[in-house]
Structure 1
Amino acid sequence: MAEIRVPELSLVVLVGVSGSGKSTFAAKHFKPTQVISSDYCRGLVSDDENDQSATPQAFELLHHIVGVRLARGLLTVVDATNVQYEARKSLIDLAKRHDVLAEAIVLDVSDEIAIARNESRPDRDFGAGVVIRQRKDLRRSLSRINRDGFRKVHVLRGQEQIDATTIGYDKSWSNKKDLTGPFDIIGDVHGCRSELETLLERLGWEPVRDAEGRWTDASHPAGRTAVFVGDLVDRGPDTPGVLRLVMSMVAAGRAICVAGNHEQKLVRALNGRKVRVAHGLQESLDQLAAADPVFVEDARIFMDGLLSHYLLDGGNLVVAHAGLKESYHGRASGRVRSFALYGDTTGETDEYGLPVRYPWAQEYRGRAMVVYGHTPTIKPEWINNTICLDTGVVFGGELTALRYPERELVSVPAEQMWYEPVKPLSAPGYRDPGTLDINDVQGTRHIETRYGGRIKIQEVNAATALEVMSRFAVDPRWLLYLPPTMAPPQTSPLDGYLEHPHEAFEEFAAAGVTEVVCEEKHMGSRAIAVLTRTPEVAAARFGITDGSSGSVYTRTGRPFFADTGPLVERLREAVAPLWKALDSDWVILDCELLPWSAKALDLIRTQYASVGAAAGAALPEAVAALTAAAGRGLDVGGLLDRARRRQDNAALFRDAYARYCWPVDGLEGIRLAPFQILACEGRASALEPHAWHLSTLGLLDHELITPTRHRFVTLGSAESRAAATAWWEELTAGGGEGMVVKPAVQPPTGRVQPAEGTQPDGAPPKRPPARVQPGVKVRGREYLRIIYGPDYTDSLDLLRRRFLGKKRSLALREHALGLEALARLADGDPLWRIHEPVFGVLALESEPVDPRL
C-alpha cells in the first residue's frame, strides 16, 4: 500500500477523465466539506449536473468557493477532469493568490473502464467519444504536467494502484504550534557575540564555555526556548561566534531561528553568486574567511535552511524577521518569504537612500502576536499586538529580548558602536493608533468573551454606537471600559413595595451564592475615571501626548464636562495612596459622580421639576374647589380624597428629587464615590472580591471622595438578612436611593455551583439560573416615585407585571463585554481589540428596553 502525503494546507487537484473514479477517490480519502465538485457546482447553477452550457458559470462558482476556503486556511480538493492545461493553470494561479501549495493527483485508468462506468450511470449520456477526447488531452498533459507549477504530481496508474493508495498529511515547516514555550525571543544580533552572551545570562541561561571562556552552547534551567528573529550576521565584530552559539542551541533543540535578509545575502555570497557587498556583508566574509572551512560550510547550510517564519504556541505567536501580516501566517510562497525577510515597502526611497517601509503593523488586526526585528528603533513599542525587537545593538543601541508569554522586555546596552548607522535610529511611533478604524466596529459582529461566550451585536445597534463614538466620545485612547446596565430584582409582592431586598437575597441564594455585599447606591451619575500618575505615564502607556493625565466620562463614553482637566487633577491627588497600594502608575475606577444635578440638571428641570411645579400649582386649587363643593353638600368625597392623596404624592415627589440636588460652583460641591477598582498595570482587578475593593478604596481620605457604605450578608442567616433589610429601610427613609446587592465573590464565568444550606429555612437550594447577575439594584419606595411618577403607588398591581427579562439579559451581556475589555487591557492587547467589547457595550445600549428599569 502506497501513501500520498499532501500539505495540511494545500489545494489538491484531481486529474482524470470522466469515469476515472475521482469522486469515489475523493469521498474515500477526504471529508465531504473538503471536496468541491464541478458537477455539483454545475447542478447549483442549472439544476442539471450534465448541463454543459452552464460550465462557465459552474467553474466561476467553483473558483469562488475554493478561494474562500483557501483564504480561511482550509485544505481543499477540486473534483473535475482538469485534463487540459488551462483548467489546471487557473487553479494553480488561485492557489498562488492565496499563498498555498498545489498538489496534483492523476487517476489514470483505461478507456474501457471509464466508458463502462459512464454507461452504467443513467445521468451520463454523452457517449464514449467524450472520454476518448479527454483521454487524448490527459496523455498530452502527462508529458508536461510536472512543469505546470504543482509542488508534486502523483500519478496513479490503474485501478489496483488507485485502490491501494492512502492519503497522509504533512504539517507545514513553519507550523510549530505544538511548541508552547515559554520563549525568550531575541532581536537582531548582527555579530555582537559578547552582548548576546550578556543578554542570555540576564535571561537566566547557563553557558557551556570553551577554553577561552566563550559560550559554545547554553541551556535554561526552567526549560525555556530561545527564538532568534534573524540577522545574526554582518556589521558586528564576531559573526562566526554568534553563528556557532546559535547553531549549537538549535541543534540541541533549545532554540529556533528564522531567516533574516542578511543571512540570505550572506548565503548567496558563500554560494559564489554575485551580490552587492554592502551593509556589513564584508565584515562577515572577512571573519568567515579566517574560520575553519568545515564550520563555514556548516554555517552556510544552517543559514540556507532557515525558514521565513514560525507559528508557535497554538498559533498565538508568530515570529518573522520583518514581521508578517495575518493573511500570510502559515502560508508558503515567494511573496510570503519576501515579506518576512524585507517587510512591505512603498517602492520609494528616503533621503538616506533606504526603502520606505509600509506601516503594516498599524493596520494589523490579527489575534496572533507578531514579534519581529529588521528595522532598528530606539526602543521596542507595542503596535496592534506586534513588536519590533531590533534596538540597534550593532549601532550602539541595545540588544533586546521579549519574554513570552510574560510580555516582559529585557535589554542590555551595546559595548560600543560597532557600525556607523546610515541614518539615526528613530522611535516606532505610539503604542497604538489614536483613531478608530470603522472596519473594526461596523456591521453585525460576534464578539468572543471569556466570561459570557459569544455575544452578537446587531448592525443597526452598531450604527447607532458608531454615531455616538465618532461624534461625542472622549479621546478613544482613554475609552477603555464602559459599565454595564444593572437590573432590578424580581418584583416584590409585599404590600406597598415594587422592589425589596428579599427578592434579591432569594435570587442569589437560589443560585448557590452564600454571601453578598450590599452597597449604598449613590444617587449620582455613573462615571468611569481613568487616571495616570503623571502625563509622562499617559504618554508611555496610552500614547496620549497632549499633557493630560486622565479622563472622567459617562457610561456612554462622553466627557462629563466640557473641560474635565481640573477634575482629573483633583482626582489624581485624591487617589495618590493607590499608586503604592496597587504598585501601578495608572488605575481605572468605577464611580458615581455626585450630586445627580451636576450632570442631570437639565433632566431635572425639564422632566421632574416641571411635573412638580404643575402639580404644586394645580392640585391645591383642585383640593380647594372640591372642599368648597363638599361644603355645599355635593357628593365629591371620593374625588376629594383622591385629590388630597395626589397632592401629598406630589409633595413627596418634589422632596424625592430635591434630595439629590445641591449647589455646585465649578468643582466646589462635586463629590466622587468610587466603589470598584477596575484595572491597573498588568491586572484586571474587577473580579477581585468586593471586600478587597472596598478596603483598598478605604485608603482614600480626601474631601473629593465620598465613601460607599456597605454591609456583608450571610444568606444562610435569617438574622443577617433582616439586619441588611433594616439597613436598607433606614437608607431609603433618609432619602437614599437604595442599595446594590452583589455576590461577595463574583464567579469569573458568572455561574455558581449550588451549596447546601443556603436557604434560611434550611431547605435545599433551588436549581441555579443559567448565569448569576453581577449586581441587582434595590431601590427605595420614594426614589421609585421619581422613576414611575408621583402616583405610582396607586398602580402597583399594574407595575408588578413589568417585564424584566430583556433588562436582565442586557445586564449580563454588557457585564461580560466589560470584563472582556478589561482582560484584554491587562493582557496588553492593542487598542482596537479593547475597543471591540467596549463598542459592543455602547451598541447594546441602543436596544429598546424600558428605561425605568
Structure 2
Amino acid sequence: MTPEDRFPGPEHPHSGPRHQPDLDVLPYGTYYEPEPAAGYQGTPYDAETYSGYGGARYLEQHWPADGHGHSHTVHAQGLNTDQAPAFPHQGQYDGGYESQDVYEGQDAYEGQDQSGYDDRAGYEPTLPDQPSPALQLPGRDDPPTIELGPPLPDPAAPTYPYPAPGPDEPPGPVYVVGDVHGYLEELRAELRHQGLIDADGHWSAGRARIWFLGDFTDRGPDGIGVIDLVMQLAAEAAAAGGYCRALMGNHELLFLGAAKYGDEPVQSTAGTASFLAAWRLNGGQQNDLDRLEAHHISWLSRLPAVALEDGHLLLHSDTTAYLEYGESIPDVNDAVHSLLSDGSVDEWWDCFRRFTKRFAFRGDAGPMAVHELLDTYGGTRIVHGHSPIPYLTGAVHADDGQPPHIPGPYVYADDLAVAMDGGVTMEGRLLVARLPI
C-alpha cells in the first residue's frame, strides 16, 4: 500500500458509480521512451534518471522526523487585481497544528480517489523567525469599454521565421509535459531535448502544440520561473503558428488559495486547517509567494481543468472527481472558473480536495473508471499527471536506495491511460512526450 492509501473517508453523494480497486495490485503497463529531436547534441537527460536538485529532499527540509509542527508567524498581504479573483487581507498566521502519519514523497492532502477525501489538520514546518515580506499589488479600476483597433506592432518585439499556417494546412504535432513542480532547469533541458526550444530558451517548434498538465509550483526551487517560461512560450508559439497551453493542477488551486485566503480557517473532517498551512505542508516555497504578481494570478485562474486534443482527454489528476463539476468539458471548466471567481473559502477547499484524489485508474477496476470519463467527455485515451509513476508502478519502494528508474511515460489501464508525472521531485525525471504514445 502506498502512503496515499492510509486515509479513507466518506464518498461524496451524487457522484455516480465509483469502483473501489484493489490498490495492492499494481497496474499492468509499459514504459514508453521518447526519442530526442533529430540533430540534438545531448543534455543531462542522456542519463536514464536524474535530478539536478535532489528532489526528495524537499520533504526532509519541511517535515521533522517526529512528525510534530512548530509555531511560527507568517505575514502576507492579500492581492487585489481587476484581472483575477480579489484576494482579501490574510492576517497573521500563528501555527499550532500537528501532523499525522507524515510520509515521504507525496502531497499531504492527496488521498486515494474512491475512498473520498483525505483531510487532516494542517501541519506547520519550522520557518525563520522573521516574518516574510508583505506581498502587495496595486488594485486598478476597470477602464471604460471602448472599441480598439488592432494593436500597434512593438518594434522591439522578436520576430519569428515561421509563416502563418494556410487555411487547409494541418496543425503541428502535440506534446504533453508532466508535473514540473518548480524544476525550471530540468524543464528547459527536456524542452530543448525534444527540440521545442532553442539554446536561448525561446520557442523553436514552429506549429507544434504543447499542453502542460499542471503543477508548476511547490517543492522545487523556482515555480514562478516555470510559470514565466510557460507564459513566454505561449506568446512565442502563437506568433509561430503553434500554441502552448496548460491545465490547472491541484497545486495551482493550492497556491492561489494560499495567496488569497492565507491562514483563514477552512473546515475539514479532521479539524480546522488553512490554505497556507496546507500549501507549506505540501512543499510551498516562500520565494514563489513573494514573487507572485497580478498577471500570474490572472493567468493561473483562467487555466482549464480538462481539455481534449486529437482524441486524448487531458487531465491533471487521475481521478473521476471531474464528473462532480459537469457532464461536458466546457461545463467543468466553467464551473471551476466560476468557483475561483466567486466561491467561498470552503468551496475552494472542497475543489482542492477533490482534485487531489488519485489512483482511480489502478487495479482491475481502473479501465472502467477511465471509460466513465471517456464516455462523458470524449476521447479514446486519458493522459494525466499528478500521481508519480514510481508510486503507480511500485518502483518507489526499491530497497537498493537508488533513484527510481523512469525511462518514459507509463501506459496502463488496458492501454487506456498514460501517466506523465515522472517523479522529478523524488529524483525521477521530468517527462515531455509527443502524442500519440
Into which bin does the TM-score normalised by the smaller protein fall?
0.3 to 0.5
Give the alignment's TM-score, normalised by structure 2.
Answer: 0.42
Larger Rg belongs to: 1
Q: Which has the higher strand share?
A: 1
Give the alignment's TM-score, normalised by structure 1.
Answer: 0.22
Q: Which has the higher helix share?
A: 1
Asked which structure has the greater RCO (Cα within 8 Å, sep 6+), the reply is: 2
